[in-house]
Amino acid sequence: MNFLGYVREDGSVGTRNYVGIIPTVGCVNEVARGIAQHVALAVPLLHHQGCCQLSPDLDTVTKTLTSLGKNPNFGAVLLVGLGCEGISIDRVMEGIAETGKPVEAIVIQDLGGSTNSVQQGTAKAERLAFQLSAERKKPVDVSNIVVGIKCGSSDATSGLSSNPSTGYASDKIVNCGGTVIFGETTEFLGAEHVLAERAVNKDVADKLLGIVDSMEKRAASMGVDMRGGQPTPGNINGGLTTIEEKSLGAIVKGGSCLIHDVLEYWESPSTTGLFIKDTPGREIEALTGLAAARAQIIVFSTGRGAPQGFPGVPVVKVCGNSRTVKRMADHIDLDVSGIVEGRTTISEEGERLFSMILEVASGTRTKAELLHYDETMDIYTTGPVI
């Protein structure tokens, strides 16, 4: 079973072929965006981190930017720095270069300002894009696929239809030798013991329980006890009553395979299989964590209709609420409402989703890509801005 992809020098496979324009600090976003607007294959990964943060967060941002640059959907990378930020542009550049892909950089303070930086950055990005334009897709085995999975704007249908369909597809990918990563530590709460039973060993189970405990302690430090609490207003309107109920519906998107490891926010899997990643639930940071794990595609299950995509990584929206499918048709890629309505089964819709994943991997565009609803991201940090 194959899909068509771009085989990189390090053996990874991209489902897209972009020049990633990556700012090392939030105050150069305008320059990064300006460069990308002039170059057809360029995609900016704009964020708001990289300066006036404590060293643990700066280390997280550095590693996350490096991991994003290593994502195989970016065949080349241009880094944009300011010159006085807390991130070492050389460290990020060296890390990305380990993949063998072309990496270049500009520093605004060295070039005398934004106008000259956009001009010189555009010239560099054009050269990189020209190199990529000569590359062609090749048939590769499905075992090369890395899929991130997420749920958001959930309702009562999510745990009954779109999440189980995603879980079915997840199991099939893993059983075919591929890799699946799912996160949202906040949505393990109340169900973490169920996931821990699927860990390959006690060390992995302890890591899983540890990230949930750490998340709860961060909330407690702000005077909030999340146990027994309520989900978001949208979740409540969609029929969910407690965090625990939401979590039990959310974790089924991870299927039933054994969990091989628990990854840090910036970390990539070292083998194939099913992995958990320590991320928040909010889309703009959670999707970044999945892309940093080198996911070439993200499957996003939604009940009420979350529109968010991600720059450079196609996001497939799956929904099992027929009302949402009609109301949010601009954003839903796969309608699995037949499960709730008794017309289809989880396995049938899971097979459809698996086929769609391979089609998108081979080049079919998602709704978010077609609408350019894929330009927002950010990096998860836990400390104060100073």
Please report, for the chain, the start and end positions of each structural domain, with discontinuous segments joined by +.
Answer: 18-134, 141-371
Q: How far is CA 58 from CA 24, 166, 234, 244, in A?
A: 11, 34, 33, 33
Which of 250, 246, 262, 145 minimizes the C-alpha distance to 199?
A: 262
Q: Which amino acid is at 136?
A: R
Which conformational region is residue 210 in: left (phi greater than 0), alpha (psi within -120 to 50 degrees), or beta?
Answer: alpha
Tracing tokens 């990230």 back to the chain, one arrives at 211
User: What's the pLDDT at 223?
Assistant: 84
Quick one: DSSP state of residue 199?
A: B
Fold of 18-134: Rossmann fold (3.40.50)
Alpha carbon distance 360, 350 (integer Å): 15
Tracing tokens 């595609």 back to the chain, one arrives at 297
User: What's the pLDDT at 219?
Assistant: 82
Alpha carbon distance 260, 270 (integer Å): 10
Alpha carbon distance 294, 288 (integer Å): 10
Question: Residues, the chain, total?
Answer: 386
The 3-state DSSP class for residue 133 equals helix
In this prediction the pTM is 0.94
User: What's the pLDDT at 323?
Assistant: 96
Q: How far is CA 376 from CA 84, 125, 317, in A?
A: 24, 21, 16
Tokens of 200: 């390959």
Residues (pLDDT < 70) of the chain are 227-246, 249
The Cβ of residue 139 has, within 10 Å, a number of other Cβ atoms equal to 10
Alpha carbon distance 130, 116 (integer Å): 21
Backbone angles phi, psi at 263, to 5 degrees: -100, 145
